[in-house]
Amino acid sequence: MKLDVTDWPRLIERTQGASGAFIRELLRKAAVFAAEEDGAGPLVVRDGHMDEGLAELLIAGGPLTKSLLGATTTPNGSA
Please give, one letter per residue, the 3-state secondary structure of 52-64. Answer: HHHHHHHHHCHHH
> 52 pLDDT exceeds 70?
yes
- Name the fold adopted by 2-69: Helicase, Ruva Protein; domain 3 (1.10.8)
Q: State the pLDDT confidence band at 79, using cuts at 50, 70 and 90.
A: very low
Q: What is the pLDDT of residues 27-44, one digit of tens each?
A: 999 999 999 987 777 899
Q: How far is residue 20 from each of residues 14, 36, 38, measured CA to CA in Å? A: 14, 24, 27
Residues 54, 46: contact at Cβ < 8 Å? no
Where do the structural domains in the chain lie, given as residue ranges? 2-69
CA 70 to chain centre: 13
How many angstroms separate the Cα of 40 from the Cα of each of 44, 45, 53, 66?
A: 11, 13, 20, 32
